[in-house]
Structure 1
Amino acid sequence: MIRAFAAATFDGTTVVHDPAVGTNHLPPRPITAGCLGLDDHEVAAWPLADPAALALDYPLSMCWSPIVRCNLACPHCLDDKHVRESTAAERSAAAGHIAASGVLGVDISGGEPLLLRDLPDLALAIRRQGTTVVSCTTNAWHLARRAPELAGTLDAIRVSLDGATAATHDTWRGQDSHRHAVAGIRAAVAEGLFVQLQMVLMHANKHEAQQLLELATHLGAGGVTFLQMLPIGEGEALAAEQMLTDEQAREVVDRLTVPDGVRVRLRTRTSAGGFTVLRADGFAWRNTRDATDISVFIPVTGPGDLRLPIPGSAS
């Protein structure tokens, strides 16, 4: 499948960012800078890039949470629900800062981003310069309704599923959440959106990891990302009971039988270290290197403010 990626060259090293999976790759052949269509099978076979090894002064990719509101109340949520939510004008300005910052990819999250009427406009504003690809992470309650207007504005959509079955997923996300998510995934795929499923991997749902891969195939999703729980926000209270070590998570993923055409990634806490997040109130932070806390907390008033120093570095 040909889909959207973003590429840039840093001190002679070309990096390609995958907006669906969230990975960065080192192409073995010359690649044109900017947003471009590439075969996802080919990109998946390329070596992974280590952002820390590139000595960048800004992140390759980031998360933007322009909304605090959510229609669900998940007990493992990372978001700080006490911050002020941005106005439409502030969201528009932030989108411009992101577009001009040099990042290759941004994932619009929340809260629940599909509650934002201006979501398509924000995505288009970021993509307008032709250098950044845009994904969106959603619980998918409203995806079936909004999929037609999101097609053509997003490069990928990531749907949170914390269980392959309704019994498990709805335990974490609330009654009927699984049904709405499945309907949303079907609608998004029908509209030509590339869908990546995401599961916060915990002791309570790790037994359904294989079933989730099979569900992805059945629904036409392109892959599954297993996210290690981060002990940040409300999820901190569940860490002792539910959090796997990176080694335990790797054992779960290594035992899976991956169907043809399905992209599987494990985002360990180690790989989440140093990741940049822009909050709804206009402040940005980077995760600490072990992704157990936040650091480098500053207000973003222009593109340069997103060039946060990496925790533990001399910069």
Structure 2
Amino acid sequence: MTVRTFSCAVLGSTSLVHDPATGLTHTPARRLPSGRLLLDDTEVAAWPLIAQRQVRTRLPLNICWSPVVRCNLACPQCLDDKTLTEADAPDRRRIAGILADCGTLGNDISGGEPLLLRDLPHLLEVLRNGPSTVSCTTNGWHLERRATELAPVLDAVRISFDGPDAASHDRWRGAGSFERAASGARAAVAAGLPVQLQAVLMRSTVRRAQSVVDLAADLGAIGVTFLQMLPIGDGAHLAKTEMASDADARHHVGLVQVPPGTRIRLRTRELADGFTVVRADGQVYRNVHGATGIQPTRPLLTAADLRLPLPQEART
């Protein structure tokens, strides 16, 4: 049994529990108070899953915030838009305050590479003042030296891996990146941070699903989230050669033999469609066209700017 932090809220008329490591949302089998809660992750994992489209709410269940465009790596499958202008530090604090108070279940800080931000601990602290859980997605390069600093203000860290060893991972992310990410994962686990590996599924990588899961178990991670490649940003030019179908991804992930206590998740493009992202320019974006594109909606000035259309409005 592992007890860690989850968030609970009633959105619409549905009671929900969000896992900051896996990014999954569950419907609890018992009544829970709203807010940040310590729960047994084995119990939560057994509760039914629920997707955004199944909940009658204008509020995104969880949000990805990418406050930084800069990155120390140059991954060809990156979906960030490097042409955007980054908001300055005061504007980042303003956005963190809006996200902390908006009532969503989970906030994940991504990038670019968020560990390049000197004010990252402060931003995480602001987010943690709200009722949601807070996670960070990183390439892991700087995680070993920052794990102790970040552990008190993070509920989980997600580390990108494109393979189970240096030969496969470094092909996509550059020399030395596997060892830095693996050392970062071990340091985070030692600091008491729940760790989830994240692997982008491409035609070149989909057959490594089992070995990435085995790596997660070896590193002491909770598990692996397999992310279907999105043909957005730099990754658009890889779509013709590297984009695997959702059916193919389900097939290969379904073959994985999962070690006891390890959690795996497949986020298909179908599930990623409509997902809410706040990018470095301070605008709210949503994945569109089956998550094969992304569109800006409006600048994030108040929590109302995050609102989703209700299901019947989306069909009209």
TM-score band, normalised by the shorter chain?
A: over 0.9
RMSD: 1.3
- Tell me the distance in 2 between the aligned counterparts of 1:240 and 1:257: 30
Alpha-carbon contact 2:283-2:296 (below 8 Å) kept: no
Q: Tell me the equivalent position of 1:21.
A: 22
Q: In the comparison of the two structures, how many residue pairs are matched?
A: 314
* Equivalent residues in 2 for 1:172-191, closer than 5 Å: 172-191=172-191
- Tell me the distance in 2 between the aligned counterparts of 1:67 and 1:259: 35
- Tell me the distance in 2 between the aligned counterparts of 1:243 and 1:310: 30
- Tell me the distance in 2 between the aligned counterparts of 1:57 and 1:219: 38
**Where does the alignment leave 5 or more consecutive residues of structure 1 unmatched?**
none
Deviation at 1:116, TM superposition (A): 0.5
Q: Tell me the equivalent position of 2:283.
A: 283
- Tell me the distance in 1 between the aligned counterparts of 2:230 and 2:94: 29
Of residues 286-295 and 180-189 in structure 1, the stretch that sits farther from structure 2 once superposed is: 286-295
- Tell me the distance in 2 between the aligned counterparts of 1:274 and 1:132: 20
Task: Give the SS at the match of 2:271.
Answer: coil
Please give the TM-score of this superposition, normalised by the length of structure 1: 0.97
Task: Spell out, residue by residue over 1:168-190, the C-alpha distance to the aligned partner (whole angstroms, 9 max, x if none).
Answer: 10010000000100100010000
Q: Tell me the equivalent position of 1:46.
A: 47
Task: Spell out, residue by residue over 1:189-244, the C-alpha distance to the aligned partner (whole angstroms, 9 max, x if none).
Answer: 00000000000011111222111111111110110000000011111110111111
Give 4+ residue runs of structure 1 displaced > 6 Å after superposition: none
Task: Give the SS at the match of 2:38.
Answer: strand
* Seq. identity, %: 54
**Where does the alignment leave 5 or more consecutive residues of structure 2 unmatched?**
none
Task: Give the SS at the match of 2:189.
Answer: helix
Deviation at 1:310, TM superposition (A): 6.7
Q: Tell me the equivalent position of 1:297.
A: 297
- Tell me the distance in 1 between the aligned counterparts of 2:296 and 2:119: 29
Deviation at 1:51, TM superposition (A): 1.6
Q: Tell me the equivalent position of 1:8.
A: 9
Amino acid at match of 1:112: E
Q: Tell me the equivalent position of 2:35.
A: 34
Task: Spell out, residue by residue over 1:282-304, the C-alpha distance to the aligned partner (whole angstroms, 9 max, x if none).
Answer: 11111115111123521111121
Alpha-carbon contact 1:163-1:169 (below 8 Å) kept: yes
Task: Give the SS at the match of 1:298.
Answer: strand
Q: Tell me the equivalent position of 1:262.
A: 262
CA 1:289 to 1:6, structure 2 compared with 1: closer, same or farther past 3 Å?
A: farther
Q: Tell me the equivalent position of 2:114.
A: 113
Amino acid at match of 1:224: V
- Tell me the distance in 2 between the aligned counterparts of 1:308 and 1:29: 28
Alpha-carbon contact 2:79-2:233 (below 8 Å) kept: yes
Alpha-carbon contact 2:224-2:263 (below 8 Å) kept: yes
Deviation at 1:10, TM superposition (A): 2.5
- Tell me the distance in 1 between the aligned counterparts of 2:242 and 2:232: 13
Task: Give the SS at the match of 1:169.
Answer: helix
Alpha-carbon contact 1:285-1:308 (below 8 Å) kept: no
Amino acid at match of 1:235: G
- Tell me the distance in 1 between the aligned counterparts of 2:290 and 2:209: 24
Q: Tell me the equivalent position of 2:143.
A: 143
- Tell me the distance in 2 between the aligned counterparts of 1:182 and 1:54: 37
- Tell me the distance in 2 between the aligned counterparts of 1:283 and 1:23: 24
Q: Tell me the equivalent position of 1:274.
A: 274
- Tell me the distance in 2 between the aligned counterparts of 1:295 and 1:233: 12
* Equivalent residues in 2 for 1:51-200, closer than 5 Å: 51-129=52-130, 131-200=131-200
- Tell me the distance in 1 between the aligned counterparts of 2:268 and 2:12: 28
- Tell me the distance in 2 between the aligned counterparts of 1:160 and 1:122: 21
Amino acid at match of 2:40: D
- Tell me the distance in 1 between the aligned counterparts of 2:270 and 2:97: 30
Please give the TM-score of this superposition, normalised by the length of structure 2: 0.97
Deviation at 1:309, TM superposition (A): 3.3
- Tell me the distance in 2 between the aligned counterparts of 1:10 and 1:286: 20
- Tell me the distance in 1 between the aligned counterparts of 2:172 and 2:282: 29
* Equivalent residues in 2 for 1:242-261, closer than 5 Å: 242-261=242-261
Task: Give the SS at the match of 1:140.
Answer: coil
Task: Give the SS at the match of 1:62.
Answer: strand
Task: Spell out, residue by residue over 1:43-79, the C-alpha distance to the aligned partner (whole angstroms, 9 max, x if none).
Answer: 1111011221212111010100000100000000000
